[in-house]
Structure 1
Amino acid sequence: MGKIFKVIAVLLGLLVTLIVAAVIIIPLVVEPNDFRDEIVSEVKKATGRDLQIDGDLKLSVFPWLGLELGGLELKNASGFGDVPFASIKQAVVRVKLMPLLSKQIEVDRVTLDGLQLNLARMKDGRTNWDDLTAADNNQPPEQKEAQGEPEAMPLAGLAIGGVNISNANLSWRDDTTGQQVSIQQLNVEVGAITPGQPVALDIEFSLNNREPNLQAKIKLSANPLLDLDKGHLSIKKLVLTVAAKGEALAGKDVDLRLETGVDTDLAGQNIALSGLQFDAAGLSLSGDLKGRNLVTAPAFSGNFTLAEFNLRSLLSTHGLSVPETADAAVLTRVALAFDMAGTTEGVKLKKLDLVLDDSKLSGNITVNNLSAAMPAVGFDLNLNAIDLDRYLPPQTDGEVQPADNTTATTQDEDAQQNQGLLPVDMLRQLDINGVFTVGKLTVMKLQMEGIQLNVKAADGKINIGQQIKQFYQGSLQGKVDIDVSGKQPLLQLNEQLQGVQAGPLLKDATGEDRLTGLGRFNVDLKTRGNSEQALRQGLNGNLGFRFENGAIKGINVAQILRETWAKLNGKSVPPSSESKQTDFSELSGSALITNGVLNNEDLMAKSPFLRIDGAGQVDLVKEVLDYTLTTTIVSTMEGQGGGELTGLTGVPIPVRLTGSLADPKPSVDTEVLAKRLLQGKLGEQKEKLQQKAQEKIQEKLKGKLPGGLQDRLKGLL
């Protein structure tokens, strides 16, 4: 045993002697600067470029086997100017000598200072690194195969003290696009690299882009843990901050911060971002995201929450126009949360929760066929309540006189004729299937509750089913069908309105309750075309309505009749303090529309003292009407001013409506009325003459005939 220890001691002594000799002799014998020309020659042979070494080459042996380089410069490719392709002020790399004997590599901190890399592309598409890759690409395959890959020496361990890259600058110039980007003051700090231990990583640099002008300071810190055996990379905390400004950002300063944990495999198949927090431009997004099968069949899933923010302030802060709204308090509370799952073919948003001021939208959205020109969309959404009038532009007081824009109107009509009212090409591609419900809705002052829209669109056919459960004490149900699969769009409208109070409805819709009463309305219309004129000309169908216990405002039929009656009798028009309206207990009618012309033959209205029948035409294409109302004063002479029209009782009075739909002109057909009155007078005179003749005959025969015969004669007369 003693001999063995003695042999070991001798060997160790010999080894120490050799190391000491190497430390003393190698620096004396080996002068690295003597190899300058050989290094330059080999670089020239390999790249075709000149390498310039300005600084000294320094070699160290113990305890670190190291090399220090200074002042290296690699010339640029031909045609790219005198600016060097790459240059380095100083590079230092050292490996600990003793561990090498046991196949362990311990590298001291690797230092690289003053790296300058200039990349460029000419207008003809050539880059200043093409020649560096061409040499390897042009090498014969058999030579590559003969060279093979050098066999790696099995290592017992590897440790690197760190990496320090300082004061690096990179530039990129693309003459084909005019783009110029530079990275300046790039500093990279990598902590000690030890297998099985996380590594501290810090990177910072400045980014400058010329067109559009953009400057940014970027910092990244992380603590990656690399497991080569398992092929796994994890980062517990990655933090990225960016402070940017410039014309590309409308001259505004933008700060963003990203923090997340990362887990991924080195094959790039799976990745998970946990505790994701992204803050930028006054917005804060948090969540988690997972990606699977990223190389073969990418799929993603996650959940996200966008914290509440003030949209109005956000737009103003970043110099963007704030929409002008009737209510300045809207757009001040916005928040969003949802779960998502998706692939390259489709995305699903579940548990959607969108807050807009006092409104909340919830539900699910599905988007499939992402590769198609128009993806397929499905949705099931519910909106609790919203007042859209708050988001519309404010109304101005008073009416603005329209300018003389005849030319502009004509141009707009021509453009509309060429483009069409409906975007046919887009509608043909729609693929939609969804349900949208609203608890309460106010729009254009109209109020409704319990709204449901069922939307389906496929193969150029769009169907929209509508239902409103509460609509001015009534309800509305119907559907709209649009078919753009053929040459001309086809439109069909079918609506039923039941139990609606017309007065409040019209008051909210138009500002004037010209018609009041409890009513129902149904319409079934079809048309074709893609311009307003064509749609009117092609309009066909029917409609019907009935209203009870109401009034038609804006026209007082009784007053018109009184004025007409006064004129016929040569009297002055009597003053009236009555409201300008015509009361009715019942108003009903139906109409048939043929090629844009509405025909009505059965209008009927009953009021306390009037009975009105109506018939005529309304040309919706030309927007004119020719309609006659036949008014009859009932015999009771009671009601709305009937007492002053005793002479017209029972006489059918024609009231004609002519002119434009916007401003119809009512008038009494006095000629027809005069004839009817004359006929009535003649009838009255005839009755009076007959009565007088009867009385005279009876007077003369009185007492001259037997009683029974006289009574019979009286009955005969």
Structure 2
Amino acid sequence: MKRVAKILLGVLGVLILLIVAAAIALPLLVDPNDYKPQINAAIEDQIGREVDISGDIGLSVFPWLGVELGRVSVANADGFGDEPMATAQAAEISIKLLPLLSREIEVGTVGLQGLNLRLARNADGRTNWASISEHLTRNQAESGNGESPAESEPKNDPAPDDGGFSLSSLQIGAIDIRDAAVSWRDATTGADYRASGVKLVTGRLTDGEPVRLEFGGDFEAPEAALGGEVSLVAQVEPSIADQFYRFSDLSLNVIASGEAVPAGRQQASLTGAGEFDVDAGRFKLSNMALQAAGLNVNANVDGSDLGSDAAAYSGRVTVKEFNPSTVMRELEIEPPATQRDAALSTAGFDAQFEAGNEHVQFKQILATLDDSSVKGSARVEDFAQPAIGFDLSLDELNVDDYLP
């Protein structure tokens, strides 16, 4: 019996060595660049759009099943110009082989360099990616039972016990997108937005585990005479299966410039934390702090029934004490000349609020201006034709201080 066991173990060891040797030798024996026409044709058949892989294709098999692409482009739709809809200078993705035996998906770093994505809508309201979506839908219907996706029964992701892969088994080493550019032109509205130098970098992505996210880039809206820079860093904890997302340590910085910006240049920063429950249509923003133009605004906001007529928002907003004259100068507004030099030197605001799609109400208002204080409540109904109501009390006001 021991002899049989030794033979079986020996055979198994030889098989493993052969598999490893084949995995190492395969990229050396097979050059995927020899099959570019077939690869292009297969992708074109799936998306219904001409694809050109003009760069080299690299292939690795063990321990990672990986693909590296050089320059690749996807043609634009008819009527949207000769430039490709999308190009990328380099891309890479890899999947570890051995975890697949345990029905786990372990993806290495997903890299994308030099992406240039041109999105557009023509005067008829049709986008340049609509035909791709339609082609994919058609292929899905034809490869199934002949029914359209709307007619077919929804299929749940197979559970690990059924021999499939679950979302919780997905692990991604990281996402690394650099030097990307995205543009959006809408012929129906005249909108023209562009982003360049875009970077999106994450740490290891595992469902239910926190991950650091970095995003940044330059933006431009030529028609609005607006441009600037944006950078974002946050700790994100996704639960994809539950459609629940939490973020913390948010740091968002925006520098806006151009003719449309007061004084030609303004800077704003936002910090805070929050969570978003997609299925429940609920979000919560905590300890949000905005700094801009000499103002410091703190807020806590809860939202529920999002996307419905019953959407509701509530929370508290506080504008810390500030100098109104200084803020006006920051926004290139000349403060009015007043009889009292110290007029318009201090102000503040604090209130709780409740809001819906057609109303907003402020409660427990405490607003200050110099030596005056206002307390009470205010409400606006029907934003299209506003009906304004208020119940406010003013303790004192020396009007002479604010006369010319």
TM-score computed with the length of structure 1 as normaliser: 0.51
Displacement, 1:320? 1.4
- Distance change (3 Å), C-alpha of 1:46 and 1:231: closer
Equivalent position of 1:336 in the other structure: 349
Give the distance between the partners of 1:269 and 1:151, measured in 2 at CA: 22
2:40 aligned partner: 40
Letter in 2 for 1:351: Q
What is the CA distance between 1:253 and its match in structure 2? 1.2
Identity of aligned residues (%): 35
Whether 2:239 is the aligned partner of 1:219: answer no
Could you say which residue in structure 1 is the equivalent of 2:268? 256
* Shift in alpha-carbon separation, 1:308–1:2, aligned structure 2, 3 A: farther
- RMSD (Å) for aligned C-alpha atoms: 2.7
Which of 354, 366, 372 is the aligned partner of 1:359?
Answer: 372
Kept in 1, the 8 Å contact 2:198–2:215? The answer is yes
Mapped contact 1:158–1:195 kept (Cα < 8 A): yes
In structure 2, what residue type is equivalent to 1:316? Answer: R
> Post-superposition shift, 1:25?
4.1
Q: Is the 8 A contact 1:162 1:191 kept in 2?
A: yes
SS in 2 for 1:180: strand
AA of the residue aligned to 1:276: M
Stretches of structure 1 lacking an aligned partner (at least 5 in a row): 395-717
Aligned to 2:165: 154
Q: CA deviation at 1:350?
A: 1.6
Task: Return the alpha-carbon distance in structure 1 between the equivalents of residues 371 and 311 of structure 2.
Answer: 38
The aligned amino acid for 1:285 is: V
CA shift at 1:234, angstroms? 1.2
In structure 1, the partner of 2:22 is 22
Q: For the residues of structure 2 that align with 1:240 and 1:329, how far apart are their CA atoms?
A: 35
CA-CA distance at 1:307 after TM superposition: 0.8
Q: Which residue matches 2:277?
A: 265
Q: 1: CA distance between counterparts of 2:206 and 2:135? A: 36
C-alpha distance 286-4 of structure 1, shift in aligned 2 (>3 A): farther
Do 2:297 and 2:317's aligned partners in 1 also have CA atoms closer than 8 Å? yes
- Structure-2 change in CA distance of 1:389 and 1:12 (3 Å): farther
> How far, CA to CA, are the matches of 1:151 and 1:360 in structure 2?
59
Residue number among 371, 377, 394 corresponding to 1:383 in the alignment? 394
Cα separation, 1, equivalents of 2:51 and 2:263: 43
**CA offsets per residue over residues 536-560 of structure 1, 9 Å max, x none?**
xxxxxxxxxxxxxxxxxxxxxxxxx
Residue 224 of structure 2 is aligned to residue 243 of structure 1: no
SS of residue paired to 1:196: coil
CA offsets per residue over residues 377-419 of structure 1, 9 Å max, x none? 4432211100123223x2xxxxxxxxxxxxxxxxxxxxxxxxx
Per-residue CA deviation, residues 10-58 of structure 1 (Å, 9 max, x unaligned), is 4641442242232244224533223211122234444443211111111
Amino acid paired to 1:71: R
2:31 aligned with 1:31: yes
After superposition, the Cα gap between the structure-2 partners of 1:309 and 1:112, relative to the gap in structure 1 and judged at 3 Å, is: same
Deviations, residues 456-487 of structure 1 (Å, cap 9, x unaligned) = xxxxxxxxxxxxxxxxxxxxxxxxxxxxxxxx
SS of equivalent to 1:162: strand
Match of 2:161 in 1: none
Per the TM alignment, residue 359 of structure 1 is displaced from its structure 2 partner at its CA by: 0.3
1:285 pairs with 2:301 = no
Which stretch of structure 1 is more off in the superposition, 55-64 or 229-238?
Answer: 229-238
1:237–1:262 CA contact under 8 A, matched in 2: no
**Which of 1 and 2 has higher RCO (CA within 8 Å, sep 6+)?**
2
- Structure 2 match to 1:702: none
- Distance of 1:127 and 1:90 partners within structure 2: 26
- One-letter amino acid matched to 1:356: L
Using the size of structure 2 for normalisation, the TM-score is: 0.88
Amino acid in structure 2 at the alignment position of 1:169: A
Change (3 A) 1:35 1:352: same
Distance in structure 2 (CA, Å) of the matches to 1:94 and 1:140: 25
Instruction: Give the CA deviation at 1:319.
Output: 1.3
Relative to structure 2, which stretch is displaced further, 345-354 or 125-134? 125-134
Structure label with greater radius of gyration: 1
Deviations 1:436-460 (A, max 9, x none): xxxxxxxxxxxxxxxxxxxxxxxxx
Counterpart CA distance in 2 for 1:229 and 1:128 is 31
Match of 1:13, SS state, is: helix
User: Structure 2 vs 1, CA of residues 63 and 71 (structure 1 numbering), >3 Å: closer, same or farther?
Assistant: same
Whether contact under 8 Å (1:352, 1:364) holds in the other structure is yes
CA 1:336–1:145: 2 relative to 1, 3 Å: farther
1:179–1:210 CA contact under 8 A, matched in 2? no
State the partner residue of 1:90.
Answer: 90
Aligned residue identity for 1:245: S
Match of 1:311 in 2: 324
Map residues 563-574 of structure 1 onto 2, 5 A cutoff.
Answer: none
Corresponding residue SS for 1:327: coil
Report the Cα distance in structure 1 between the residues aligned to 2:45 and 2:268, rounded to whole angstroms: 48
User: Is it true that 1:184 corresponds to 2:196 in the alignment?
Assistant: yes
Aligned 8 A contact 2:49 2:74 in 1 = yes
Structure 2, unmatched stretches of 5+, are: 159-163
State the one-letter code of the partner of 1:227: S
Quote the offset at 1:352 in angstroms.
0.6
1:56 alignment partner in structure 2: 56
Deviation at 1:114, TM superposition (A): 0.6
